[in-house]
Amino acid sequence: MSQNLTVAVVGATGAVGREMLKTLHERKFPATQVRAFASARSAGSKVPFGEGELTVEELKEDVFAGIDIAIFSAGGATSTTFAPHAAQAGCVVVDNSAAWRMDDRCPLVIPEVNPHALDKHQGIIANPNCSTIQMLVALKPLHDAVGIKRVVVSTYQAVSGTGQKGIEELERQVRDLFNGRDPENKTYPYRIAFNVLPHIDVFLDNDYTKEEMKMVNETVKILEDPSVRVTATCARVPVFFCHAESVNIETVKKITAKETRILLSQAPGIKVFDNPRELLYPMPAYCIGEDPTYVGRIREDESIENGLNMWIVADNVRKGAALNAVQIAEELVRRDLVRVPDTTVFA
């Protein structure tokens, strides 16, 4: 295990960056020094870390010398520009943006699902999309046990997935509506308060959105199985935190709902919360700040021979971003992979 680790959080002033710092401290990550970076306009400001604060440093190309792991949550453009400089300096990057997810040089990792992918990292590791993470934490045990042929997923995604501006827009619009004012749409094309938008990210040529195709493509890459077919519909709902997903699964072999509950209750990172007679099922309002991926409404799909339905909820800022990134960093330490190979393709 590496000693005397220096860890940096890039994008430390954002909602996810702050959650990353909080998670590093809460999980007692074995770092002797933690540094916070953001853009020039945030340099000199303070961000919370444990009982104290860190002074935010300006992100520049030459700041990575002496840093062992840098966890990025500063957007795709920043990651595209600065992550290769970090790898060249010998710093392992765990990137939360979409910039490197489908790059063949970069492992796309959920520690409960495919930690082995870290073994061949070249200095940049991608954190999957938040919706993909919680879905695959729940699907991987099923895929290993009975095989998955097809997945149909509909997401109900919180506004925090858009960042602080999404949270502020929902809050502002609710206040406006209650006070008889017409709400202004700044972040979303339509009002999000008391509404549902069946549209996340940009539309592509196939009329799916980029968010929907992320779930399709990332699932195949992470499971390393192109035979798994995925189709997705992603919607934005007026909820502040936690994404929910309705997932329909067609398996290769038959598995009952009872067997599924037992299987998932024994799997890492999952909490089965499922008792219809007691009205027990996961809900976003009750999963905020929680580490596990919650699974409920497990039942057999009676329209096909080998089918299951389930309802999956997780905190998108926590497990969907910050926690997964920190878990990747922990796995790097555990596997003694806190180093960039001399043969890195990013040099």
- Alpha carbon distances (Å) from 209 to 95, 246, 307: 22, 18, 26
Reference 333, options 115, 50, 88, 58; nearest CA is 115
Residue owning tokens 């009329």: 207
Catalytic residue list contains 91: no
Beta carbons of 117 and 197 less than 8 angstroms apart:
no
Side by side, the strands of the sheet bearing 148-157 are 229-236, 148-157, 243-251, 307-314, 293-300, 270-272
Q: Among residues 130, 234, 242, 287, which one is catalytic?
A: 130
Catalytic residue list contains 130: yes
Q: Among residues 91, 106, 234, 243, which one is catalytic?
A: 243
3-state secondary structure the chain: CCCCEEEEEECCCCHHHHHHHHHHHHCCCCEEEEEEEECHHHCCCEEEECCEEEEEEECCCCCCCCCCEEEECCCHHHHHHHHHHHHHCCCEEEECCCCCCCCCCCCECCCCCCHHHHHHCCCEEECCCHHHHHHHHHHHHHHHHHCEEEEEEEEEECHHHHCHHHHHHHHHHHHHHHCCCCCCCCCCCCCCCCCCECCCCCECCCCCEHHHHHHHHHHHHHHCCCCCEEEEEEEECCCCCCEEEEEEEEECCCCCHHHHHHHHHCCCCEEECCEHHHCECCCHHHCCCCCCEEEEEEEECCCCCCEEEEEEEECCCHHHHHHHHHHHHHHHHHCCCCCCCCCCCCC
Active site members: 130, 243
